[in-house]
Amino acid sequence: MLFLSFGGPEGPEEVRPFLENVTRGRGVPPERLDEVAEHYLHFGGVSPINRLNEDIMAALRSELDAQGRDLPIYFGNRNWHPMVEDTVARMADDGVRRALVFATSAWGGYSGCKQYHEDIVRARESVGQRAPELVKLRQFFDHPLFVGANADAVRAAYAELGERAEQARLVLTAHSIPLRADERPGADGRPQWYSRQVAEAARLVAEQVGAESYDVVWQSRSGPPQVPWLEPDICDHLQDLHAKGVGSVVVSPIGFVSDHLEVVWDLDNEAEEAAAGLGMGFARAATAGTDPRFVEMIVELIAEHTDAAPVCKLSELRMAGSTVNGALCAPGCC
Ligand SMILES: CC1=C(CCC(=O)O)c2cc3nc(cc4[nH]c(cc5[nH]c(cc1n2)c(C)c5CCC(=O)O)c(CCC(=O)O)c4C)C(CCC(=O)O)=C3C
Ligand SMILES: [Fe+2]
């Protein structure tokens, strides 16, 4: 299988070239890039994403071994080394003819789905005739193991708040995207594929933890300020909650599969600081990537293809994201 992810810098000198790869042709203003470069430099220019992916792959390796599945795992990224083009070339050298692709995003839409299809197409084109067939696994935002892992993490975060847990508000957050990117009509003729999936995952998590009410908010927006993105932003929302008398929050980064920079900086630093400034209690729930159920989920997604295992999903939203050789998905997905 090919484990396909976003990529991240491994040192200060890699931050700029990495950001240039991410934002090429995307119209992100230079001031925003300076700001994000700063965030990476707070961590010595090393993104947490690579080690997290290595950890997930190591856990996946042992689980596959335990099940007697002789499935080699290759690692490639969209934006930084190991680049997916190089990885797919190596797969071809090794004689791989066909591979399943696990992309580290739960979601449909451009960034979470279509761009991974584009990565697959680009990598195959760069390898040429010898390129293996690449079959992408589906979106998993409503997989019971993904939802279950996030729900348990929310429970643990409530426990962390101690006596402040009683009145704590549950706030689930995902990466903002431009409204226009979210507004393509879906297969059912209704728009907002990405934000509806996020809303659905949030609803399922809230239901499992027994939260009667909760909020879905957005974070880490970029792009020029005059372009509308999904709102409210989490920090604005904390102010709002404070104004309404909410004393503490549990923040669940449902939009991210592991503790990416957006989680360890934008939440653990900026949002936590905003909460502290307002005198609010703040507990951030863990991401799914650290939970053994997340690895189990990947194995189940694989088994859907290798063993015709049943498709486990908790929502009625249609399933998409799985195509061959980077073909586009369901209409409206991406
Ligand atoms: C929906 C979504 C996900 C979740 C789905 C998924 O996981 O795929 C996601 C994940 C991630 N985004 C990441 C990093 C960045 N995203 C950026 C920019 C952007 N993201 C966008 C959307 C998303 N992004 C968008 C619409 C832009 C604007 C530019 C454009 O239209 O494409 C920029 C440029 C600077 C900035 O503008 O912030 C960076 C550096 C990292 C790695 C972090 C690490 O190193 O740990 C990860 C996992
Ligand atoms: Fe898609």
ipTM: 0.93
Q: Are residues 38 and 8 in the same domain?
A: yes
Is the pLDDT confidence value at 102 over 80? yes
114 and 42 assigned to the same domain: yes
Structural domain containing residue 83? 2-140+293-306
User: Are 159 and 216 part of one and the same domain?
Assistant: yes
Residue 164 and residue 67 in one domain: no
Residue 327 domain-assigned?
no
- 156-212 pLDDT per residue, tens: 999 999 999 999 999 999 999 999 989 877 767 777 889 999 999 999 999 999 999
CATH number of 38's domain: 3.40.50.1400
Q: Are residues 151 and 245 in the same domain?
A: yes
Q: Do residue 52 and residue 118 come from a single domain?
A: yes
Q: Which residues are documented as binding site for Fe-coproporphyrin III?
A: 47, 116
Contact (Cβ atoms closer than 8 angstroms) between residue 141 and residue 197: yes
Cite the annotated binding site by residue number: 47, 116, 175, 262
Of ligand 1's listed atoms, the one at least distance from the Cα of 18 is: 40
Residues around ligand 2, an ion, CB closer than 5 A: 108, 113, 329, 333-334
Q: Is residue 318 part of a domain?
A: no
Is 324 among the domain residues?
no
Residues 300 and 242 in one domain: no
Query: Which tens digit of pLDDT belongs to each residue from 103-156?
Result: 999 999 999 999 999 999 999 999 999 999 999 999 999 999 999 999 999 999
Reported pTM: 0.96
The residue whose CA is least distant from atom 11 of ligand 1 is 6
**pLDDT, position 105:** 98
- Percentage of residues in the chain with pLDDT exceeding 70? 100
Distance CA 300, CA 290 (A): 17
Task: Tell me the CA–centroid distance for residue 334 and ligand 2, in Å.
Answer: 4
For residue 187, the model assigns a pLDDT of: 66
| Whether residues 123 and 149 fall in one domain | no
Domain count along the chain? 2
Mean pLDDT value across residues 269-295 = 97
179 lines ligand 1 (CB under 6 A): no
Same domain, 81 and 161: no
- In this structure, the residue with its CA closest to atom 40 of ligand 1 is 19
Q: Are residues 136 and 150 in the same domain?
A: no
